[in-house]
Amino acid sequence: MEEESARVIPEPGSPLISFRGIHKSFGENGENKVLIGIDLEVYQGETMVILGRSGSGKTVLTSMLVGLNTPDAGVITVEGVEITEFVTDTDWRNLRLRTGYLFQGSALYDSMTVGENVAFPMVQHTDWSEPEIERRVAEKLGQVGLAGVEPLDPTALSGGMQRRAALARSLALDPQIIIYDEPTAGLDPVTGDEISRLIRRLQEVQEVLKVTSIVVTHDLRLTQLVADRLVLLHEGQWVFQGTYEEFLRSSHPEVRRFLHREPQGETTP
């Protein structure tokens, strides 16, 4: 396997994103406790990976950054602004325009061509001319290795190509924050590795712009390639926070189970 060049981990300062005491439950009586007092800070320019088993609350936590879920208790701030006080779409507008979100499963619109999908955020949220939008669409598709596919229907693309097209759409407005929700889920190992390497290359391009990324995944190879830091969620709380190398050395039982893909209750000595 080829050597991966080391990423420079950003120097800590004031966190760009801060989760404080986040609680979230579902069910009629709140019996399904998904997040229990989560504290987490993400710094400008870094890539934070949130690991966890299915149902551990990874997507619930990150979707709160764009208002798709709201906490039952706790405070979330972005650049010092308390977004847990947001109520209306007007409140959310500025943050959503600065945030790219790659949905699990790509979520491309079948009624639009690939080019129209990538153009959609630009058409909805800018007054750019049609030639400018076409230029930017071509640029974003080129960045993800899909030059020239604008006229195709999404159904004409393979699963990996659909994921790339969805990534191009998430980059459409040059976001300052990018959230990747299970970017390699449902893909074969080779295609998943291609997507992982693409995200890594995009990180290197975006480092000068100090784009901040949050990656939700259970994919250890993706984590190894892109994480500056990672947290492991388990039963509503994080049980590890640190670098990937520290994760490999951790003796925490849930870390060991996760690394060795063991059922809960079993631990490799």
Encode pLDDT of 119-178 as tens digits.
999 999 999 999 999 999 999 999 999 999 999 999 999 999 999 999 999 999 999 999
Q: For residues 200 and 197, what is the distance between their CA atoms, to the nearest angstrom? A: 5
CATH topology of domain 14-87+177-184+212-269: Rossmann fold (3.40.50)
Q: For residues 198 and 143, what is the distance between their CA atoms, to the nearest angstrom? A: 9
Q: What are the pLDDT tens digits along the chain (269 aa)?
A: 344 444 444 445 689 999 999 999 998 877 889 999 999 999 998 999 999 988 888 999 999 999 999 999 999 999 999 999 999 988 998 899 999 999 888 889 999 999 999 999 999 999 999 999 999 999 999 999 999 999 999 999 999 999 999 999 999 999 999 999 999 988 899 999 989 988 888 888 777 667 899 999 999 999 999 999 999 999 999 999 999 999 999 999 999 999 987 655 544 44
Domain boundaries, the chain: 14-87+177-184+212-269
Is residue 100 a contact partner of residue 175, using CB atoms and an 8 Å limit?
A: yes
Closest CA to 167 of 97, 235, 229, 108: 108
Tokens matching residue 98: 């600065």
Global pTM value: 0.86
Closest CA to 36 of 18, 53, 16, 19: 19
